[in-house]
Chains A and B, each alone.
Chain A
């Protein structure tokens, strides 16, 4: 019996290839036969092509910007040309000024993320797993969540001074909530049917958490990590604008006061670049931890 079904399954690709000759008569009519076969085999376009497609708009914009600046159509004080920005960028790298600021900013964001995100993950797990914890903790956490950064920033400075603590804590406050909420949601979304399986198989409470709850919450937890990292990086600006003498945020606000617009642009580019890199890191993490999932790839 097994053999016959196996054979039936194996026949399927054969059936498909059997249909192929039907395509043959169409081919001469088509001007681009190679594209037809590419589609038929479901092959993806080359990486180079994807990159080229994605860079059309930025390249055109930069070109237009440079030309408009050179011809004096736009104020180079407000919109320094891409070339000037690149020059400034190179200078900041060469003097080492950029690395100092970037290093400080990165450390602040990382510490804030580890502190806030770690606490968010931990409390999300506790509140997700235990009803009693949910009832006693969640309302308070939800209240704190709605208080804006800028409202508590002055208080943080009063309490913790203008040193590193207030900045790291402000970032941590932001990074806490996405991880907390998504961890909680992920746990509560776990399939009840799988819990029944765990009961039938006699899972211990610990195994139930390790083998069922956490893996099934993992997609949400990683979404939380991604959002928390983003919030930590964005919270950095607020933190560094309050009162600081270092970091990218400081570099930018300092430059703004002295009308060094190119430096402001360099700061913006840096924020964007680090953001993309951080996001790439989380995506790699997702690919490693969630490879069991079959997602829609567009």
Chain B
């Protein structure tokens, strides 16, 4: 999917910094992060653990209110969480007492014909037909995460924020989930901000790959990924892109780099 360049900024992250103050001292989690995302883009944020990528995502979601700088969504400042920003956590975090369809509807009533129609549509989109009445304990990890994605999509968010959503899944399920997510993206054209530490995943999914470095967390570089979809992981073009991302990590820059190279 091509994103035309004359589209307005959809999501604007401006000079975001964040310091965690603990009893032992303060940790500089993010420093002066700037990122502009256009509508319908698929951005992956990649970096080693501790580079603040999840923190950045929480700030965009409005789940964090003690940071510097600001985040604008369609020109409006983000001041708190809301349904315009969908969030998929690392774990599915489903309500164990609700069936799949009720989990997707969450606080909305399935008696509303519009909600009913949208829920059924999303169950189809995330390929969970036949599981509408199942309880979370009956689902596999991948299925539960697909419910979480459907739940986040039901409210038609302007941006979908995903915090290492497939991190806990095995390689096969993971590859399947990536395809489902691309499917969702191509159908709904929802803007995606996807945090991962898996280079293959970042290259497979994104239009643009944002590479982050730790201490303090900041953006190291952005790689435009214009490989056509559907992408083949075994193709040489894919491998080339992968090497470009890898070499971005290996560029000698500061002594910090050696610090997390072994992680």
Residues on A facing B (Cβ under 8 Å): 1-2, 4-5, 8, 193-194, 196-204, 207, 211-212, 215-216, 218, 292-294
Cα distance A285–B82 in the bound complex, in angstroms: 36
18 contacts between A and B (CB under 8 A): A1-B175, A2-B176, A2-B179, A5-B176, A193-B93, A194-B95, A196-B63, A196-B93, A200-B87, A200-B152, A202-B83, A202-B107, A203-B106, A211-B107, A215-B98, A218-B97, A293-B97, A293-B137
Q: Mark out the residues of chain B between 215 and 258 whose CB falls within 8 Å of any chain A CB in the assembled complex.
A: none
Cα distance A1–B136 in the bound complex, in angstroms: 23
Pick the contact of A199: B63, B172, B179 (CB < 8 A).
Answer: B63
Pick the contact of B137: A194, A199, A294 (CB < 8 A).
Answer: A294
B172-A8 in contact (CB<8A): yes
Cα distance A203–B89 in the bound complex, in angstroms: 17
Which residues of B are found within 8 Å of A4, using beta-carbon distances? 172
Residues on B facing A (Cβ under 8 Å): 61, 63, 81-83, 85-87, 89, 91, 93, 95-98, 106-107, 127, 135-137, 151-152, 155, 172-173, 175-176, 179-180
B91-A5 in contact (CB<8A): no
Which residues of B are found within 8 Å of A292, using beta-carbon distances? 96-98, 135-137
A293-B96 in contact (CB<8A): yes
B61-A200 in contact (CB<8A): yes
A204-B61 in contact (CB<8A): no
4 pairs of A and B residues whose beta carbons are closest in the complex: A207-B107, A200-B87, A215-B97, A202-B83
Which residues of B are found within 8 Å of A197, using beta-carbon distances? 89, 93, 95
Which residues of B are found within 8 Å of A200, using beta-carbon distances? 61, 63, 81, 85-87, 152
* Interface residues of chain A: helix, strand, loop or mixed (majority): helix
Q: Which residue of B is nearest A216, CB measured?
A: B97
Pick the contact of B95: A2, A202, A204, A215 (CB < 8 A).
Answer: A215
Which residues of A are found within 8 Å of B97, using beta-carbon distances? 215-216, 218, 292-293
B63-A211 in contact (CB<8A): no
Which residues of B are found within 8 Å of A211, using beta-carbon distances? 95, 98, 106-107
Which residues of B are found within 8 Å of A293, using beta-carbon distances? 96-97, 137
Cα distance A59–B176 in the bound complex, in angstroms: 60
Which residues of B are found within 8 Å of A5, using beta-carbon distances? 172-173, 176
Which residues of A are found within 8 Å of B136, using beta-carbon distances? 292
B75 to chain A, nearest CB (A): 20
Pick the contact of A201: B96, B98, B151, B176 (CB < 8 A).
Answer: B151
A190 to chain B, nearest CB (A): 11
Cα distance A216–B98 in the bound complex, in angstroms: 11
B180 to chain A, nearest CB (A): 8
Q: Which residue of A is nearest B107, CB measured?
A: A207
Which residues of A are found within 8 Å of B98, using beta-carbon distances? 211, 215, 292
Which residues of A are found within 8 Å of B85, using beta-carbon distances? 200
B227 to chain A, nearest CB (A): 18
Cα distance A218–B96 in the bound complex, in angstroms: 12
Q: Which residue of A is nearest B177, CB measured?
A: A1
Cα distance A193–B173 in the bound complex, in angstroms: 24
Which residues of B are found within 8 Å of A199, using beta-carbon distances? 63, 81
A1-B179, A2-B127, A218-B97 known; A201 vs B83 contact (CB < 8 Å): yes
Pick the contact of A202: B81, B96, B176 (CB < 8 A).
Answer: B81
Which residues of A are found within 8 Å of B127, using beta-carbon distances? 2
A1-B179, A215-B95 known; A203 vs B172 contact (CB < 8 Å): no
Cα distance A211–B176 in the bound complex, in angstroms: 31
B206 to chain A, nearest CB (A): 19
B106-A201 in contact (CB<8A): yes
Cα distance A294–B106 in the bound complex, in angstroms: 21
Cα distance A293–B173 in the bound complex, in angstroms: 25
Cα distance A296–B74 in the bound complex, in angstroms: 50
Which residues of A are found within 8 Å of B81, using beta-carbon distances? 199-200, 202
Cα distance A196–B83 in the bound complex, in angstroms: 13
Q: Which of B89, B97, B173 has the most CB of A within 10 A?
A: B97
Q: Which residue of A is nearest B157, CB measured?
A: A200
B43 to chain A, nearest CB (A): 19
Cα distance A43–B10 in the bound complex, in angstroms: 59
Which residues of A are found within 8 Å of B95, using beta-carbon distances? 194, 197, 211-212, 215
Cα distance A215–B172 in the bound complex, in angstroms: 34
Cα distance A193–B163 in the bound complex, in angstroms: 14
Cα distance A196–B85 in the bound complex, in angstroms: 13
Q: Which residue of A is nearest B136, CB measured?
A: A292
A213 to chain B, nearest CB (A): 11
Which residues of B are found within 8 Å of A215, using beta-carbon distances? 95, 97-98
B173-A203 in contact (CB<8A): no
Q: Which of B81, B86, B107 has the most CB of A within 10 A?
A: B107
Which residues of A are found within 8 Å of B175, using beta-carbon distances? 1
Which residues of A are found within 8 Å of B63, using beta-carbon distances? 196, 199-200
Cα distance A211–B95 in the bound complex, in angstroms: 9
Cα distance A5–B173 in the bound complex, in angstroms: 8
B176-A203 in contact (CB<8A): no
A100 to chain B, nearest CB (A): 43
